[in-house]
Amino acid sequence: MKVVVTGSKGQLGTKLKELSLQYKNYEFLFVDIEEIDLSSKSQIGKLFENKIDLVINCAAYTAVDKAEDDFKNAELINSLAPAYIAEKCQQNNAKFIHISTDYVFDGLSGTPYKEGSQTNPQSVYGKTKLDGEIKVLSNNPEAIIIRTSWLYSEHGSNFVKTILRLAKEKDELRIVSDQQGSPTYAGDLAETIMLIVSKFSDKKEWHPGIYHYSNSGICSWYEFAVEIINISGDKIPIIPVASNEFPSKVKRPAYSVLDKSKIISVFNFNILDWKTSLKQMMQNRL
Taking alpha carbons only, the member of 11, 61, 12 closest to residue 38 is 61
C-alpha–C-alpha distance, residues 157 and 68, integer Å? 20
**Helix (H) or strand (E) segment spanning residue 142:** none
Report how far residue 100's alpha carbon sits from residue 249's, in angstroms, rounded to the nearest whole number: 21
Contacts of 42 (CB under 8 A, 6+ apart): none
Assign 5 to helix, strand or coil: strand
Strand partners, 148: 101
Q: Rounded distance, CA 236 to CA 263, Å?
A: 38
- Cα-based distances in Å from 41 to 10, 80, 91, 124, 203: 21, 9, 14, 22, 33
Beta-strand relationship, 219-220 and 180-181: antiparallel
Q: Taking the chain, what is the end-to-end CA distance rounded to the nearest angstrom?
A: 34
Q: How many CB atoms lie within 10 A of CB 278?
A: 22
Residue-level pLDDT, tens digit, the chain, 286 residues: 999 999 999 999 999 999 999 999 999 999 998 898 888 899 999 999 999 999 999 999 999 999 999 999 999 999 999 999 999 999 999 999 999 999 999 999 989 999 999 999 999 999 999 999 999 999 999 999 999 999 999 999 999 999 999 999 999 999 999 999 999 999 999 999 999 999 999 889 999 999 999 999 999 999 999 999 999 999 999 999 999 888 888 888 999 999 999 999 999 999 999 999 999 999 987 5
3-state secondary structure of 2: strand
* Domains of the chain and CATH, by start: 2-152+184-217+256-272 (3.40.50.720)
Give the CA dihedral 42, 47, 50, 54, nearest 10 degrees: -140
Residue from 84, 103, 113, 125 carrying the catalytic annotation = 125
| Residue 51, phi-psi category: left (phi > 0), alpha (psi -120 to 50), beta (remainder) | beta
Phi, psi of 274 (to 5 degrees): -65, -30
Judge whether 125 counts as a catalytic residue: yes
What pTM did the predictor assign? 0.97
Residues 196, 27, 202, 85: what is their CA dihedral angle, to the nearest 10 degrees? 50
